[in-house]
Amino acid sequence: MQEKERLDRQTIALRVAKEFQDGNVVNLGIGLPGLACNFVPAGREVLFHAEIGVLGFGEMTAPGEGDWELVNAGGQTVHEQPGMSCFDHAEAFVMIRGGHVDVSVMGAFQVSEKGDLANYMVPERQIGVIGGAMDLASGAKKLIIAMNHTTKDGQPRVLKQCTYPITALNCVKLLITDIAVIEVTEKGMVLKEVAPEWTPEEVQRLTEPTLIVDPDCHEIELM
């Protein structure tokens, strides 16, 4: 059976950005989450935070055109904009750990039914890159995970229990994958949206825990 089409990176980022509310302070992780800064819904003002010590920066610059002393956490140069503030690392993490950052978006290797997150180490490699992931996962008011629903060989990454080393427990609030949008609740994982052409049953087959299908479950809305 030929598998149905999944959402690409840009489309996942577009869906992620829909979660940003007016006035939110948002921290975007390296890679796919970072793309979401290009898709802030029209009419909403969002302040981007980077743990390198900057709040309220603009979009990424064209390659080679930026100021190397103004970069995001991924080392990409970004535009300066009025209202932007710069600070040191301790301050940047006071903002994160003190619960002042509204939304954190990052990638993951695995997410469990209870919202546990594993994203800093592949066990085979034995050395992890913790970076700011543990801080952001524990400190942000709302943690959104953007990732592919399955591994390259089709194994579920949404699991009953994470098998990879844990980054933080009970932290994931919303999961946006290439085939579904899932909310983590106290009752369990609630399937809210599915990718075009996909059915809840097909998403369930690629998901280890039993999903609660929301009565209002519908096709992913991008706008």
- Among all residues, which ones are annotated catalytic? 51
* Residue with Cβ nearer another protein (1 or 127): 127
In the complex, least distance from residue 52 CB atom to another protein, rounded to whole angstroms: 5
Please identify, using beta-carbon distances, which residue of 3 and 67 lies nearer to another protein: 67
Whether 26 and 38 have beta carbons less than 8 Å apart is answered as: no
Neighbours of 99 (CB within 10 A): 11
Q: Which residues form the interface with another protein (CB under 8 A)?
A: 31-32, 34-35, 50-54, 63-64, 67-71, 74-76, 80, 86-90, 92-93, 96-97, 125, 127-135, 138-139, 165-169
Q: Which is nearer to another protein, 20 or 109 (CB)?
A: 109
Say if residues 13 and 32 touch (Cβ distance below 8 Å): yes
**Minimum distance of another protein from residue 106's CB (angstroms):** 13
List of residues 6+ apart from 185 with CB closer than 8 A: 212
Distance between CA atoms of residues 54 and 37, nearest Å: 15
Phi, psi torsion values for 14, nearest 5 degrees: -60, -45
Complex with another protein: residue 132 or 198, whichever CB lies closer: 132
Strands 110-112 and 117-118, by their bridges, are antiparallel
CB of 167 to another protein, least distance (A): 7
Q: At closest approach, how far in Å is the CB of 221 from another protein?
A: 25
Please answer whether residues 142 and 96 qualify as being in contact, where contact means their C-beta atoms are separated by less than 8 angstroms: no
